[in-house]
């Protein structure tokens, strides 16, 4: 594979990164740990873990709920893994990895980022306003475990919160890399960069295809194992499995067009899967306990499995001749 696909990718996608952090509200109390070790005759207090919620509640859980909802409902479904490396910010905090967002999803993602930011900021402002009151409550509730030193000043606390969304173009590679180095070294730098990018593209394709195969196989297996006389043993299936499959199939064309260069195997699989799913009037109809219901389940399961035949094996190597990255 050459740099053509990477450069095409730069026209159809953006790299995005979400970085979020917040104070956990949990502190290790060495004094309590030492006292517990002495009371329980533990030889080394480091063998024990003693922590406390300094705000009287699990604020970590409250902020995690906002993050998890955004990540699981929008950020991950609208983007694809790209770079598994991480970096550090100015404070030494680990930043999350970059992900690939097709341009067709970019406006929707930005809208959801804006909505999540509003929810996050509201939660942060509410927490900061109540900070003095929470310190007073902690002083009463924690008793002898209260430590004034556990609580930082207001301005430092504000800086502990971050909800940051970044976008940057996918790097392109041409023949005009201008560096004050020898031509041989310039070519090596360009080749290394292209290999890294191609490795990321291979990762995107592998994850996309593997996720689809897993969902299709899961639904097909549940249909084949379904036993209306023994639902506990016989592979009970629910509507959510079909809904997840439909969603995966719906986003496949945009991923194929914007990310994978309109791969024929994936396009054929999408068309075939759509045809099979169109034969399902409702999930409830597949639970029909008659012979016709059994026949319908078998037909759908077989159709789903046949739809993904062209995606099995190492699809990336099939397309690009099994060439390996020079750096792998």
Residues 11 and 149 in one domain: yes
How does pLDDT run across 84-105, given as a tens digit for each residue? Answer: 654 444 444 445 788 999 888 8
Q: What is the reported pLDDT for 163?
A: 93
Confirm if 280 and 300 have CB atoms less than 8 A apart: yes
Under the banding of pLDDT at 50, 70 and 90, the label for residue 272 is very high
Whether residue 15 lies inside any domain: the answer is: yes
Q: How many C-beta atoms lie closer than 10 Å to residue 45's C-beta?
A: 17
CA distance 38 to 59: 31
| Centroid of chain to Cα 279 | 31
Residues 266 and 133 in one domain: no
Which tokens belong to 33?
Answer: 């740990």
Residues 106 and 192 in one domain: no
Q: Which comes out higher in pLDDT, residue 45 or 186?
A: 45
Residues 156 and 188 in one domain: no
Q: In which residue are the tokens 């000043």 written?
A: 153
Mean pLDDT rounded to a whole number for the chain: 80
Q: What is the reported pLDDT for 94?
A: 46
Residues 200 and 270 in one domain: yes
Expressed as residue numbers, the domain containing 66 is 4-169
Q: What is the reported pLDDT for 123?
A: 92
CA distance 25 to 22: 9
Q: What is the reported pLDDT for 151?
A: 86
Which residue spans within the chain are E strands per DSSP?
13-21, 26-28, 51-53, 80-81, 87-88, 94-95, 99-102, 162-169
Whether residue 69 lies inside any domain: the answer is: yes
Whether residue 174 lies inside any domain: the answer is: no
Residues 267 and 204 in one domain: yes
Q: What is the reported pLDDT for 44?
A: 81
Whether residue 328 lies inside any domain: the answer is: no
Q: Which comes out higher in pLDDT, residue 210 or 201?
A: 210
Q: What is the reported pLDDT for 4?
A: 59
Under the banding of pLDDT at 50, 70 and 90, the label for residue 228 is confident
User: For the chain, what percent of residues have pLDDT higher than 70?
Assistant: 83
Whether residue 175 lies inside any domain: the answer is: no
Residues 96 and 194 in one domain: no
| Residue 181 Ramachandran class (φ > 0 left, ψ -120 to 50 alpha, else beta) | beta
Distances (CA, A) of 233 to 74, 222, 290, 294: 35, 11, 19, 16
Residues 14 and 156 in one domain: yes
291-307 vs 264-278: helix axis angle to the nearest 10?
Answer: 170
What is the C-alpha R_g of the chain? 27
Residues 232 and 134 in one domain: no
Overall average pLDDT of the 310-317 stretch: 69
Model confidence at 53: pLDDT above 50: yes
Distances (CA, A) of 59 to 118, 137, 140, 241: 18, 15, 18, 33
Overall average pLDDT of the 223-238 stretch: 71
How does pLDDT run across 247-267, given as a tens digit for each residue? Answer: 889 888 888 888 777 888 889
Residues 45 and 154 in one domain: yes
CA distance 19 to 25: 19
Model confidence at 179: pLDDT above 60: no
Residues 211 and 156 in one domain: no
Q: Which comes out higher in pLDDT, residue 58 or 278?
A: 278
Residues 132 and 265 in one domain: no
| Total count of domains within the chain | 2
Overall average pLDDT of the 294-309 stretch: 93
Return phi, psi of residue 163, to 5°. Answer: -135, 100
User: CA torsion angle for 60, 63, 68, 73 (degrees, to 10)?
Assistant: 170
Q: Which comes out higher in pLDDT, residue 70 or 27?
A: 70
Whether residue 75 lies inside any domain: the answer is: yes
Q: Which of 169, 197, 218 is the last residue of a domain?
A: 169
Whether residue 327 lies inside any domain: the answer is: no
Q: What is the reported pLDDT for 202?
A: 77
Q: What is the reported pLDDT for 133?
A: 87
């Amino acid at each position: 594979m050459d740099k053509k696909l990477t450069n095409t990718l730069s026209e159809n996608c953006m790299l995005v990164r979400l970085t979020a952090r917040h104070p956990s509200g949990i502190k290790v109390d060495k004094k309590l740990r030492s006292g517990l070790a002495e009371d329980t005759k533990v030889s080394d207090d480091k063998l024990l873990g003693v922590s406390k919620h300094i705000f009287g509640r699990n604020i970590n859980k409250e902020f995690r709920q906002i993050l998890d909802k955004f990540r699981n409902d929008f950020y991950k479904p609208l983007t694809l893994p790209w770079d598994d490396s991480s970096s550090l910010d100015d404070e030494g905090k680990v930043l999350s990895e970059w992900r690939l967002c097709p341009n067709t999803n970019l406006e929707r993602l930005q809208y959801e980022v804006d909505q999540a930011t509003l929810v996050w900021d509201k939660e942060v402002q509410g927490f900061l306003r109540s900070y003095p009151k929470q310190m007073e409550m902690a002083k009463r509730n924690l008793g002898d475990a209260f430590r004034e030193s556990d609580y930082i000043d207001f301005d430092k606390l504000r800086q502990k919160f971050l909800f940051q969304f970044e976008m940057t173009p996918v790097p392109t590679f041409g023949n005009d890399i201008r560096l004050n180095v020898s031509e041989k070294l310039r070519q090596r730098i360009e080749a290394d960069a292209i290999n890294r990018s191609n490795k990321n593209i291979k990762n995107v394709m592998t994850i996309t295809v593997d996720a689809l195969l897993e969902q299709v196989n899961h639904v097909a297996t549940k249909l084949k194992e379904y036993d209306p006389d023994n639902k506990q043993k016989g592979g009970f299936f629910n509507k959510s499995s079909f809904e997840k499959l439909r969603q995966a199939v719906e986003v496949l064309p945009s991923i194929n067009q914007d990310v994978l260069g309109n791969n024929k195997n994936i396009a054929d699989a999408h068309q075939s899967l759509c045809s099979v799913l169109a034969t399902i009037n409702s999930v409830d109809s597949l639970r029909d306990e008659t012979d016709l219901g059994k026949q319908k389940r078998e037909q759908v399961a077989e159709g789903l499995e046949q739809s993904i035949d062209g995606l099995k094996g190492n699809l990336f190597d099939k397309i690009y001749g099994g060439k390996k990255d020079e750096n792998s």
